[in-house]
Amino acid sequence: MRFLASLYLNQRLYVAFLINIALFVFAYSFPILLGVAEITFLVIIVLVFIDIFLLYSSKEKLVGFRKCSDKLSNGDINNIYIHLENRYDFTISVKIIDELPVQFQYRDFSIQATLVKGEKKIIRYELQPKKRGEYHFGTLNLYASSSIGLVARRLRYSQDMMVPVYPAFLQLKQYELLAISNRLVDIGIKKIRKLGHNMEFEQIKEYVPGDDIRTINWKATARNNGLMVNHYQDEKSQQVYSVIDKGRNMKMPFDKLSLLDYAINASLVISRIALLKDDKVGLLTFNKKVSSFLPASKVNRQMHRIIETLYNQKTAYRESDMEKLYIATRRRMSQRSLILFYTNFESLSSMRRQLPYFRRIATNHLLVVIFFRNTELQQLIDKKAANVEDIYLKTIAEKFDYEKKQIVKELKQYGIQAILTAPEDLTVNSINKYLEIKSRGLV
């Protein structure tokens, strides 16, 4: 029974039998074909037995296993590796069917490979999860065929395993490497010249075009017979908080990733960049109440704490309570801090309901409200109207888009910084705003 369970008929065998049946059918009209059909049938049967003998007589067989990292990165391309070793004495063709987690909803996932005698091969494929949580892989199925290719032997390797999907730590590593190599400009991070400074300077250097002329050191200039400028120290150990709204307005998906996950991924990266700038980073998430709070710190384990805290965050179906957020900032953030607040508004009226709380928070902290442009509406706006219905939909879309821009203007009237961004540009725009604030010494 185990033999029959592992034996599979290849498509090539079905084609051979169909041809043979056709020969038998035509033999009624052309009797000379009857002998050809009978010989063909016997040849097919013999080849099938030879194929089975080659695949099952050898104790040495195909060996394979799956290998991946102990956790996957949400929203990023993750590599999965299938290691194969051909222990047959001949070349084989392999069909790989890996039982992927149900979250991917792949129904026809398979990979083809060819291995010569004794060859070891690593097959790589990519997965891009769109949701945090536990992902369960099932059995690795390998279908080995000889050069005859009429039947296949199935080899099952039970590799049931659970792999957690964490916030985008691969994206975090990418930004960190680019920051270390001073290549952040390659992905859209702007070079911002420092506009403000504190009263202490690190060193005196020769003037280069673009330096602030207010930093010229006239005494050093007179001694060196050339313009010399003071290079001031950056303000360090400032508190930077990522505050994430988990209300229903963050459930909206873009490219299968929720706004909450975009905010989580961006806050993870901005926290790491702030730590590289020697600032303290903290985290607060809330909806009807504050669900998690990490005080600002720059200890070595802070990033690990942030990642573990963000892993379990979920949106709620109710609107968030901004009063609870204001109370939390008053009680738990004693020092003036930069607050990067990730939320979303679909209308001007919804923002105005929360504006009193934003104004109170902004009296004690530097508040940056970050919300999302509806890119699907933008596609509707850019689309050429072909009929009256298109004109109506285009007008409504332009109204919603206009209100989003009005939200930014109204927040700025009250001294509140604001970022209106497409979801895919959130991380880059957040970093640019942080660097701008640091350069201007606003915190």
Sign of the C-alpha dihedral computed for residues 168, 171, 173 and 175 taken in this order:
negative
Lowest mean pLDDT segment, chosen from 52-61, 228-237, 292-301:
228-237
Residue among 283, 355, 294 nearest 326 (CA): 355
Quick one: 62-165 is in which CATH superfamily? Immunoglobulins (2.60.40.10)
Strand partners, 206: 228
93 by DSSP, 3-state: which? strand
Residue 15 pLDDT exceeds 70: yes
> What pLDDT sits at residue 199?
46
CA–CA distance, 92 with 85 (Å, rounded to integer): 11
> What pLDDT sits at residue 114?
94
Average pLDDT over residues 218-239: 74
More confident residue, 291 or 175: 291
The mean of the pLDDT values for the chain is 85
> What pLDDT sits at residue 246?
94
**Secondary element (H or E) of residue 277:** none
CB atoms within 10 A of CB 273: 23
pLDDT, one tens digit per residue, over 406-434 is: 999 999 999 899 999 999 999 889 988 99
Residues 6+ apart with CB under 8 A from 349: none
Query: By the 8 A CB rule, do 266 and 427 touch?
Result: yes
> What pLDDT sits at residue 375?
81
pLDDT, one tens digit per residue, over 169-202 is: 888 777 765 554 455 555 555 555 554 444 445 5
Quick one: 169-193+234-440 is in which CATH superfamily? von Willebrand factor, type A domain (3.40.50.410)
Start-to-end CA span in the chain (Å): 74
CA–CA distance, 239 with 253 (Å, rounded to integer): 31
Average pLDDT over residues 70-82: 93
More confident residue, 33 or 254: 254
Confidence of residue 60 (pLDDT cuts 50, 70, 90): low
70 by DSSP, 3-state: which? coil
Confidence of residue 94 (pLDDT cuts 50, 70, 90): very high
> What pLDDT sits at residue 184?
53
Domain boundaries, the chain: 2-56, 62-165, 169-193+234-440, 202-232
